[in-house]
Amino acid sequence: MMDFIRGTVTSVRPDRVVVDIGPMGLTAICTPAAASSVRVGERVELMTSLVIREDGWTVYGFLDADERTVFEQVQTVSGVGPRLAMGLLATLSPDELRLAVARDDLVTLTKVPGVGRKGASRLVLELKDKLGPAQGLGAAGVSGGVVAGRWQASVTAGLTSLGWSVKEAEQAVLAVTPMVEVDAGDSEGPDIAALLKAALRSLDRS
């Protein structure tokens, strides 16, 4: 098992980083929040999860062990693979996900790109006793399920998971940013699903 990687960051993209680990450069798929927290030239240590499939080996990187644990646990849910697991963590922190599952909060879970109401119900049913209690978030820690400031990463992750390039996704995020500014007073935070749909429409028109 590959438990972690440690080395110098040589490349950063919204959904991955390349780390020079000595004899080779290793690509780790990350959440946008994790990728944006590192810089080229910095030393970094990422907790890792190795997924082996017939078409190749993929390394997923995380800033802490808790994020990696949640990534692996959600894949025990039927129909959830690594890509959707990363989508969950791109939209919700581990504690936000725990609270959403504990509260049967389907509205929050369906804000994750690719998760419909049936999928959200399945997440609640199958994860109820697996994720444990929230570790660092109080009962008031989630407002509408999405922390302010994460919507850009969530929409970017959703678009790239649908096959759009990172550049196209970034352009679409810029296109829908005025929608968020207009709704900045909304206490529930941005509607990720609505923003993703708007971003898709902007790409279709381009």
Give residue limits of the domains in the chain. Answer: 4-62, 65-127, 151-205
Q: Which CATH number fits domain 4-62: 2.40.50.70, 2.40.50.140, 3.40.50.2300, 2.40.50.100?
A: 2.40.50.140
pLDDT interval class at 81 (50, 70, 90)? very high
Side chain identity, residue 22: G
Cα separation of 104 and 88, whole Å?
16
pLDDT given at position 135: 59
Mean of pLDDT over the chain: 82
Residue 57 φ/ψ, nearest 5 degrees: -105, 135
The pTM (predicted TM-score) of the whole model is 0.65
- The closest alpha carbon to 42, from 82, 4, 9, belongs to 9
Cα separation of 165 and 52, whole Å?
24
pLDDT, tens digit, for every residue of 116-130?
A: 999 999 999 999 888
pLDDT at 56 over 50: yes
pLDDT, tens digit, for every residue of 132-152?
A: 776 554 433 333 333 434 677
Top pLDDT among 115 and 166 is at 115
Cα separation of 2 and 28, whole Å?
12
CATH class of 151-205: mainly alpha
pLDDT given at position 145: 38
Rounded (10°) angle between helices 82-91 and 65-74? 130
What's the CATH fold of domain 65-127? Answer: DNA polymerase; domain 1 (1.10.150)
Cα separation of 73 and 76, whole Å?
6
pLDDT given at position 150: 64
